[in-house]
Structure 1
Amino acid sequence: MTWMRWAPAMEQALYDPDGGFYRRSEGPAGHFRTSVHASPRFARAVARLLLEVDAALGRPEELALVDVGAGRGELLTGVLAELPGEVLARLRPYGVEIARRPAGLPSTALWTDEVPRGVTGLLFANEWLDNVPLDVGEVDDGGVLRYREVDTATGGERLGGPASAADAAWAERWWPAGHPGDSVEFGGTRDAAWARAVAGLERGLAVAVDYGHTADRRPLFGTLTGFRGGREVAPVPDGSCDVTAHVALDSVAAPGLHSLWTTQRDALRALGVSGARPPLALASSDPVGYLRALGGAGEGAELTDPAGLGAFGWLAQAVRMPVPEALAALPGWQTLTP
């Protein structure tokens, strides 16, 4: 029996070189399905966003595409397949991931475990922040916010020592917890990880896509869970399953930048993804085209389903650049005060 706070337990379970979940040969796709796996339309939408970022930046001599948490390169490969030759000639694609470089990745793509620095373009992090390890806390019967500790073999929990001054201050600002039994998922590690990633952009757009929440909708009992083989399971940090928690997207946002929080449903619709069925008349004039369009509509509907993938949160932050045209019409853009 080994007791740890949740952050080191997650770090070991997910990323340990000798058996961490994200080191396994089958990769994340062997256990859960993301938007990238659901449809090529997702990569097509990200490619359109990259083209709009390129235009807003004035078509720089070198354009970066930084895929953070690149998995096995599925999104990176899909986006590259959608780009015109003129853009590919200027593109510098990066896959940021701890796993080994996947076979079949285009030779132009750089594979690294560190976010590049000083680049200009689009930084896109799809379901990355939810796997940045974090500690979990709970208010005890005396009103003290304490860390929860986990048995790494069984997933059993107990209360440990009191939260640090930094974590207590984070909770007071972003996730107040004042009653015995109240839970907190301390987001400081995610805030710092996103700040480091965004700092890699000299100019460009940074986008984080994740299941998330904001101050008006904090989950009462937390969101920590596990996934294995396509099923939600108990979050036992033994390396056999994914261990994940939703992201406090309002806390994550780097200050001083023009920023937007929106849903995947609205973001993808702005980028041309629709679940609308093709006109029935097309079935008579072009049956094959109708079936193809019908299949595409089904994929679009899945990506934008407000009860499913469409409920993902998108945080977009513009770094020394105008807002891309397709996203400019979405409501809610604001400049965050440092």
Structure 2
Amino acid sequence: MTHEAQRTAGPPARGWREATEEALYGPYGFYHRPEGPAGHFRTSVHASPLYAAAVARLLRRVDAVLGHPDELAFVDVGAGRGELTAGVLAELPADVAARTRAYAVERAARPEGLDPRVQWRAAPPTGVSGLLFANEWLDNVPVDVAETAPDGSVRYALVHEDGTEELGGPVAGPDADWLARWWPLGAEPGLRAEIGRPRDAAWASAVATLSRGLAVAVDYAHARDARPPFGTLTGFSEGRETRPVPDGGCDITAHVALDACALPGGRLLTQRAALAALGVSGGRPPLTLAATDPAAYVRALTRAGEATELTARGGLGDFGWLAQPVGTALDDLFAGDLLVDVADHEEQ
């Protein structure tokens, strides 16, 4: 993006956090468009119903650890148009579904035709027990961008409505403290970082709504020892990555420093490891099935292809999962093979 020293027309430049907030969630923002996120990009939820089935299995594990309470919560934060919420309900056995209170948390209006059992909310319910699941939510929590200036100082990147940028004042206070701890920038001009403090706070607030259970955040992610040197801020529109322009015409997103978001007791892992432990496998069905039941073979082959997409290296399988227990231990919620740190898993 182009830095401009002076502008003589148009509104003044703003920080990326303020500009993104209006572009995504303002009255004419991107997330109020009728086609919804699925009209512009493909998430794991849209890739295959296997994803909702895996989340439903995780909810049942949480239910068992909690002792099968009379009321079990499933809270879908950043619910889009409620696709995951409805999919999870559809995958639950009747007895579990009858006890489950499903909440879709989204700032857009409730879509037509959504399962009437789904409660549509602008914020998570408080004091509930169960599973809070945030799939590709934190990457759309707006953040400011910092950049190393030619003189070596770290300054805010300011943006105009047309996407052009200029450098603003120096980063100071809590934002500077966050960068020093989680994403220190060197002196080379042009180095960039997204200041993840608002995401840390948003995640802590979401986790605090649970009285017992598990909170999971799934997103594009990076860790402190491998931060991208020029940041990750980008746009998406009509299925394509595009230049981020805060005019409401595209999604604006940035990868998440999930390690900074993690609260005590949380663990990071890859989606590949998490889904494998939840029964999602890309193994091909035996060829003998093709001879005995061709239709079943085709269905199994389709599921295997979808599972491969969800767990692929270099793709959805590299997404980070942050698993945060509340009032219980992870060992009680997951099989042992799920408790694998990202780095350890990649070495196997």
Distance 2:211 2:149 in 1: 45
Distance 1:329 1:58 in 2: 23
Aligned: 1:274 with 2:281: yes
Tell me how far 1:87 sits from its aligned partner: 0.8
Aligned: 1:36 with 2:84: no
Distance 1:34 1:108 in 2: 23
Distance 2:281 2:289 in 1: 17
Distance 1:299 1:42 in 2: 9
SS of corresponding position for 1:181: coil
Aligned: 1:164 with 2:172: yes
Instruction: Structure 2: state its 5+ residue gaps.
Output: 1-9, 342-348
Distance 2:295 2:340 in 1: 41
Instruction: Structure 1: state its 5+ residue gaps.
Output: 334-338
Distance 2:93 2:340 in 1: 31
2:184 to 170, 176, 183: 176
Tell me how far 1:222 sits from its aligned partner: 0.4
1:9 to 6, 12, 19: 19
Residue 17 of structure 2 aligns with an amino acid whose one-letter code is A
Tell me how far 1:164 sits from its aligned partner: 2.8
Provide the residue aligned with 1:296 in structure 2: 303
* Superimposed CA distance per residue, residues 170-210 of structure 1 (whole angstroms, 9 cap, x where no aligned partner): 00000011313221110000000001000000001000000
2:322 to 315, 320, 324: 315
Aligned: 1:69 with 2:63: no
Distance 2:123 2:338 in 1: 31
1:109 to 92, 110, 118: 118
Distance 1:172 1:135 in 2: 15
Aligned: 1:232 with 2:234: no
Tell me how far 1:141 sits from its aligned partner: 2.4
Aligned: 1:189 with 2:198: yes
* Superimposed CA distance per residue, residues 6-27 of structure 1 (whole angstroms, 9 cap, x where no aligned partner): 000000100002x100000000
Mapped contact 1:56–1:322 kept (Cα < 8 A): no
2:160 to 148, 151, 164: 151
Tell me how far 1:329 sits from its aligned partner: 2.6
Provide the residue aligned with 1:83 in structure 2: 92
Q: TM-score, normalised by structure 2?
A: 0.93
Tell me how far 1:85 sits from its aligned partner: 1.2
SS of corresponding position for 2:323: strand
Q: Which of structure 1's runs of 4+ aligned residues deviate more than 6 A?
A: none
Distance 1:34 1:148 in 2: 29
Provide the residue aligned with 2:7 in structure 1: none
SS of corresponding position for 2:214: strand
Distance 2:124 2:257 in 1: 21
2:58 to 49, 57, 65: 49
Of stretches 25-34 and 108-117 in structure 1, the one that deviates more from structure 2 is 108-117
Tell me how far 1:219 sits from its aligned partner: 0.5
Percent of matched pairs sharing the same residue: 61
Tell me how far 1:325 sits from its aligned partner: 4.4
RMSD after superposition:
1.3
1:139 to 131, 139, 148: 148
Matched residue count: 330
Tell me how far 1:58 sits from its aligned partner: 1.1
* Superimposed CA distance per residue, residues 245-289 of structure 1 (whole angstroms, 9 cap, x where no aligned partner): 0000000112x3x22101111100100001110011110011111
Mapped contact 1:267–1:327 kept (Cα < 8 A): no
Tell me how far 1:322 sits from its aligned partner: 3.0
Tell me how far 1:302 sits from its aligned partner: 0.5
Mapped contact 1:57–1:322 kept (Cα < 8 A): no
Distance 1:193 1:327 in 2: 28
SS of corresponding position for 1:329: helix
Provide the residue aligned with 1:120 in structure 2: 129
Provide the residue aligned with 1:253 in structure 2: 262
Distance 1:58 1:322, change over 3 A: farther
Distance 1:90 1:108 in 2: 11
Residue 316 of structure 1 aligns with an amino acid whose one-letter code is A
Provide the residue aligned with 1:336 in structure 2: none
Residue 289 of structure 1 aligns with an amino acid whose one-letter code is A
Residue 302 of structure 2 aligns with an amino acid whose one-letter code is G
Distance 1:235 1:327 in 2: 40
Of stretches 103-112 and 230-239 in structure 1, the one that deviates more from structure 2 is 103-112
Q: TM-score, normalised by structure 1?
A: 0.95
Residue 291 of structure 2 aligns with an amino acid whose one-letter code is S
Residue 44 of structure 1 aligns with an amino acid whose one-letter code is A
Distance 1:320 1:245, change over 3 A: same
